[in-house]
Amino acid sequence: MIFTPTALDGVFIVDVQRHEDERGFFARMFCQEEFKAAGLEPTVRQGNLSFNHAAGTLRGMHFQHSPHEETKLVRCTRGAIYDVVVDLREHAPTYLQHVGVRLDADNHRGLYVPRHCAHGYLTLEPGSEVTYLVSEDYTPGSGGGLKFDDPALAIDWPGQVNVVSAQDTAWPLLKR
């Protein structure tokens, strides 16, 4: 795997190293030892799958409150998404800054989301499917979120938001 740091400390693009032949290719998409060697948390407690019917579906910006913070490795296995991470570490120089990355079924790219960050995405194609490897078990009542269109975040989504849950539109605006 190839770990490429982003502008946010601890957020990495995770590309696969393809081993190709006449059949196609084989690649490792997760390895505890390689994650450890890159300084990333390699714990996986849960695997999740999200299917999205329409392009323009927005999910996020979600995070878990203490003590249930989690890391995620996110991949788009069908279709395409624009995946965004927002830094929620109050003492970090990149507090409330974000990074966005296109993940799609063709680039096989993953995005590593560390603890204390919010995460969300916009589907760019209908029928997009997203997988998550998550470091913690789901804990009801521990989730939080940011408003995806909060002017304080200034996320430039690369398409129109057509489908979004009532919960994701109800998060309060940040007070700055």
The partner residues of 104 in beta bridges, in order of sequence, read: 80
Cis amide bond preceding 67, omega within 30: yes
| CA-based max dimension of the chain | 56
Cis amide bond preceding 61, omega within 30: yes
Catalytic residue, chosen from 82, 112, 121, 132, is: 132
Catalytic residue flag (residue 112)? no
Element spanning 104, H or E: strand 98-104
Catalytic residue flag (residue 132)? yes
DSSP string of 22-55, one letter each residue: TTEEE-----HHHHHHTT------EEEEEEESST
Catalytic residue, chosen from 62, 82, 98, 138, is: 62
The catalytic residues are: 62, 132
